[in-house]
Structure 1
């Protein structure tokens, strides 16, 4: 098993007033040659978006873009004609493919929005752009992992154009969670949203991350009430 630790306090940071962003990987004004990607995982931005503010129309291509709203909501519009609100507990996926424009705004004038934007390199380039969105609020149960993203088009999770699986779960202290790699040769990037856990002698606290590869599984021991986000991606 190979491991790479990304402590919370070593993430990149940018504050432009309406947007306070922390970067797990090189992005925008933050560049670290040792943190450009983890396998196919290219971006993991932890954003706080101010009331009524957001990102205007801008382009993307050949990237799988996943947005997870943690608190508040985001209003989405794109050049494919999609328009809607993504609320806390919902996940949005967008295959940029041959090219797409989109905007994201916090529609509230009373509260900030907390969201994660995740980019994954695609399995196949230049596909027709596509959009999907799903609520997982009712699917999340204590001490269970729920699959948000998968390569399977089964309706229970959201599909992306890559052999990647994203899972989330909330666990009580003293639990042991074993996660088995779904696709041979993939690695795991565990981003701890809340709490404290131990993995093979490495302790993670809130917003710490651990990349693990060259293994078939990991065992996570929860030290405190914890919320896990597990991103399994090709290496």
Structure 2
């Protein structure tokens, strides 16, 4: 098993006043030659956005973009939809940029900060027709068991959002003392696991809030919860 450890304090950080951004991989003005991507995973940003602020209309193409709000209210509008759409904690949003799309993302609250993860995954199909979707996932459905959020559009998996890549995004909330065994899709896949909060032990490495580990060249690995913990798994081809 091959592992790469990314501690929370070693992430790139940008303070834009209205935006506090932590970058797991090289992004915007943050560059680390050893943190360009993990397989097909290109971006994992951990953002805090001030009330009523956000990202104005801007373009994307040929990227699968997944947003997971953690607190507050995200407001989304794109060139396929004229109306603002709310995305709340418990929901997940996906956008296949494909041939090109314009969108805006803002904090929909006048007094509460918005916290979210934004994930970019490189697609396995170029220039697809742009598409958007969002879905609510019950917190209770990931207590001590894996909750699958996103899978490939080519895969017949019920209940998950779909993207153009042979990937799986999932979450689990583990109680202290519990052990979970993660099974990978294939020997060409790897998993980037972030500890959203809590403390877990993976391959004898203690991972606390916002610490992450990239795992590849194995078919299975175990996670032991030292404290009550929430985990995000991003499984992708290692290219």
Normalised to the residue count of structure 2, the TM-score between the two structures is 0.96
Equivalent residue for 1:73? 73
Equivalent residue for 2:137? 136
Shift of 1:110: 1.4
Moved more, 52-61 or 179-188: 179-188
Moved more, 221-230 or 77-86: 77-86
In structure 1, C-alpha distance between the alignment counterparts of 2:156 and 2:19, rounded to whole Å: 34
In structure 1, C-alpha distance between the alignment counterparts of 2:166 and 2:224, rounded to whole Å: 26
How many residue pairs get matched?
Answer: 235
Equivalent residue for 2:150? 149
Equivalent residue for 1:21? 21
Equivalent residue for 1:89? 90
**1:204 maps to which of 174, 190, 207:** 207
Normalised to the residue count of structure 1, the TM-score between the two structures is 0.97
Shift of 1:81: 1.6
Map Cα deviations across residues 122-159 of structure 1 (whole Å, 9 max, x no partner). Answer: 01010000001000025634211100011125441101
Unaligned runs of 5+ residues in structure 2 are none
In structure 1, C-alpha distance between the alignment counterparts of 2:54 and 2:236, rounded to whole Å: 28
Shift of 1:14: 0.4
CA contact (8 A) 1:189 1:232 kept: yes
In structure 2, C-alpha distance between the alignment counterparts of 1:177 and 1:225, rounded to whole Å: 13
Q: Cα RMSD between the aligned structures?
A: 1.1
Unaligned runs of 5+ residues in structure 1 are none
CA contact (8 A) 1:64 1:160 kept: yes
In structure 1, C-alpha distance between the alignment counterparts of 2:139 and 2:215, rounded to whole Å: 30
Equivalent position SS for 1:140: helix
Map Cα deviations across residues 34-81 of structure 1 (whole Å, 9 max, x no partner). Answer: 000000000000000000000000000000000000001110000012
Equivalent position SS for 1:9: helix
